[in-house]
Structure 1
């Protein structure tokens, strides 16, 4: 592994920053303390700093020694509404909140790269450091874009990374094309006619209808989507009733749909609505369906994916970079930035033991040994895109 020579002295600081963020998690659009911490560091290093973009977003601007293109380097800052089970000394101090997705690490990585770039500036062009709020389902990327992110801070390309517990520490994955699925949220309110559970023939049970609907929904990808259009549909909650002897009037199902292209996502919605109509007729109920697309697919651009792979290869070794990993069914709102600009989204491996907790787990914790890898990756992108020509030592 070949890290940037100016990152090694900052590892202790990056670790302290990461653990500070972990102790003080904040939900999307509430990252007031995190944003203030980031802005204070950027200003202290003499970086032009802008706050409040898209709510709590922060952008730092570093101009090189000469004119040239511009790139955006993005890190997400928000935590999740999960009660932490881990017992680290720096565990969350806020009940019901924790950094269960590693955004604390992403922010610390970009801060480390920012400190090096602030003192280096031997590149031709501009680096825009994008510290984004509200990645976890609230549309922070879209909020920053709607607030004029790319008009105020033009970028010729944009890059982001994410830690990946399924991949071994010291490996990474990036490829052209879909990297993450688009995501939709659906909700189905099944309205029937309740009554006494001892006389079900006098009711139109929304419970029975909902039970039948679960299997119909989750079979949609296998039966209605071409094999080339990978997709997932999952019912995640069923709510209704409250007594063992009462058939309720209403049951509500919620769930998610995932797909890697827009036509497939639309096909999932059409089939979901069709099957609900069938349940209406079969069970004498009425289904009210809502289907909301949260994120488009995250699609890497070929040229930028190649540059990212080259950067990773110089740091980790070419054999450690996976260029053909299938896209993941998780979603990522960096997709909105990739809809606007060329760019790439990469995964950095963190697994050190077989039972490494997965993302969004209450016992997840970021692997601090990844911090200098991510920071070096950001710096190498600047080298390759803006022509610094600096070689890692």
Structure 2
């Protein structure tokens, strides 16, 4: 057993602080935040828990080593010095990916080849073979060079963590699950407040909200690359999954509604909600945004409306934003969280945001416009302690 493993949760640009908060909530305090990544110390169980629970990270990597390398010889020798056989069995399949930015070793294929050769040499010392067939479990290795500093990692996740397993069919340009989860975590939404998404498309925001509201681990219904690794026992994965099952509050009532004018994408949304086991929790309505019903007090509208990026859509989108502003003005106790790349959104919406946060939807630079309504009276608010107690009991 390894008591201390250095792990990296990779983060989409702008979401590093949220990923770090999630890591700390899992109980890992030795956390450092950098551009695009959150590094933390854990044990073998941390690999399982981080993959199962992190809602906004892209993937979880084992950090094998970090060192300065300005020549191929330095890269080779220092890669070879790392404890690869502690992780890789003799039948391991270990492809090497690479990237280089502002570094003297700028040829990525050459760096990949050097790293692969160095690992093979190290494996030869342990396993006494000249040739490795690579027919076993997959260990995707990456050599990342930034300003002449090489970081070597092994990917534990496999497909990116946004692939929860519930989206069997995809709509055109769907919002990534990790970004939807981040929008919800950045809002003040709590499970005892209504949540409405009037442009829900294939349902990502409502489904992610239901997973958060019921404390369901997002990775519970999928597999990870590291599940096949001998170093992480099947029993350990079972224990971590069971822990996640036990923490879920599957009967907690939620008021989550998504609507859209496109019945075709709504059928995808319903299908995804069913695959996530949430078809009875999330309601979907085939309605335009201005006819959407938002009932109750102190609710949240969290949405990713059309941006008008395509030619000919601009006028239509500007009308949508004006109507959304008129609709929201009637909801005096509600809060609104709207993601868009439109430069004049606030003018069209008719109100300045209390806070703006730059986020990227794919490669599109957007702002999350945050309009904070009043918080519910104390008597209506579920205290954090109450929620924790219910989670423990549930």
Tell me whether the two structures share a fold, i.e. TM-score over 0.5. Answer: no
Q: With the length of structure 1 as denominator, give the TM-score of the two structures.
A: 0.23
Higher strand share: 1
Determine which structure has greater relative contact order: mean sequence separation of CA pairs < 8 Å that are 6+ residues apart, divided by chain length.
Answer: 1
Q: With the length of structure 2 as denominator, give the TM-score of the two structures.
A: 0.23
